[in-house]
Amino acid sequence: MATSIDKVGVIGAGQMGTGIALVCAQAGLNVLLNDVSEERVHAALATVNGSLSRQIAKGQLDEAGRQATLDRIGVAAGYDDLAQCDLVIEAASESEDVKRKIFANLRTFLKPETIVASNTSSISITRLASVTAHPERFIGIHFMNPVPRMQLVELIRGIATTDETFESAKAFVAKLGKTATMSEDFPAFIVNRILLPMINEAIYTLYEGVGSVESIDTAMRLGANHPMGPLQLADFIGLDTCLSVMQVLHEGLADSKYRPCPLLVKYVEAGWLGRKTQRGFYDYRGEKPVPTR
């Protein structure tokens, strides 16, 4: 029997965690947001408020709806505050060490029936589940970025995940008004297994001088009808995240076609991670983005 999910804990108040908290609150669920830095949680709440204000400006929401949504999001200062949650979703940075520490530390705080999930875009769910108290109640719930706009959520079962946990996660995704797709627990799952090698290939195309940043992005926007070019998309995702997913694919599948492009590595080493650092394949510091190559 599926567990009814009414109270959700979100660990990580970055772009993904903030988006997850917003869609849960707008679906009528109570949310507790946690991060190592309380400043980031308050910044996330300001982002949520800004997003709701834009919905009011577009006539999609009224003031009462905005207030009701904000009232449903609270701050969890520590993991002990998450004790009564039905579902806890980890949305920390895409690092296996970081995620494993979070799950190991959570063990003593949650009620036994709580479902624990990771929003990882590439890391093995079975491996992450192994450090939790109840691997059978662990699942991958991978939201797409930006969470409020993207319709898809990938559900990934680990080797121990029960049918009940899977059905509960599926019902939770439906409650958010999103569509769930089921992926087996292979490196990078479905979307990133296909998308990231395409982005990596676009970076190789730039690295080898086949085309400029602008010509590659224009070619894929107008030639393949993509809403944004692959290099623009890489900047949006974050080049550090792109690199870590390619590394997971390369190590997990041992196929040379997943080798991260040396130019991607160089950009990450330079700290040019895309939009979040104001520079990646484009420079965002001026009025409009300018290609950096």
- pLDDT one digit per residue (tens) for the chain, 293 residues: 677 899 999 999 999 999 999 999 999 999 999 999 989 999 999 999 999 999 999 999 999 999 999 999 999 999 999 999 999 999 998 899 999 999 999 999 999 999 999 999 999 999 999 999 999 999 999 999 999 999 999 999 999 999 999 999 999 999 999 999 999 999 999 999 999 999 999 999 999 999 999 999 999 999 999 999 999 999 999 999 999 999 999 999 999 999 999 999 999 999 999 999 999 999 999 999 999 99
**H-type helices in the chain, by residue range?**
15-26, 38-57, 63-71, 96-106, 125-129, 163-175, 191-207, 213-223, 230-237, 239-253, 262-270
H/E element holding 37? none
The type of residue at 268 is V
Six token digits for residue 56: 């009011």
Q: How far apart are CA 217 and CA 228, in angstroms?
A: 7
Q: Which CATH superfamily is domain 192-291 in?
A: N-(1-d-carboxylethyl)-l-norvaline Dehydrogenase; domain 2 (1.10.1040.10)
pLDDT at 3: 77
* Catalytic residue from among 34, 51, 94, 142: 142
Q: Which class does domain 7-183 fall in?
A: alpha beta
- C-alpha distance from residue 227 to each of 30, 86, 161, 195, 280 (Å): 34, 37, 35, 13, 19
| 215 flagged as catalytic | no
Ranges for all domains in the chain classified under CATH 1.10.1040.10: 192-291
- C-alpha distance from residue 129 to each of 25, 118, 157, 159, 164 (Å): 26, 9, 10, 9, 16
pLDDT at 1: 67
The b/e string for 66-105 (b: 16+ C-beta within 10 A; e otherwise) is beebeebbbbbeebeebeebbbbbbbbebeeeebbebbee
Find residue 55's DSSP bridge partners: none
Q: Given strand 73-75, what is the order of strands in its sheet?
A: 73-75, 30-34, 7-11, 87-90, 115-118, 138-143, 152-157, 179-183
Q: How far apart are CA 125 and CA 142, in angstroms?
A: 11
* Catalytic residue from among 118, 122, 154, 244: 154
* Catalytic residue from among 51, 121, 122, 244: 121
| 154 flagged as catalytic | yes
* Catalytic residue from among 168, 192, 200, 244: 192
| 192 flagged as catalytic | yes
| 142 flagged as catalytic | yes
Q: Is the separation of the CB atoms in 106 and 88 below 8 Å?
A: yes
Report the half-sphere exposure of 80 (CA within 13 A, side-chain side).
1
Q: Is the separation of the CB atoms in 77 and 71 below 8 Å?
A: no
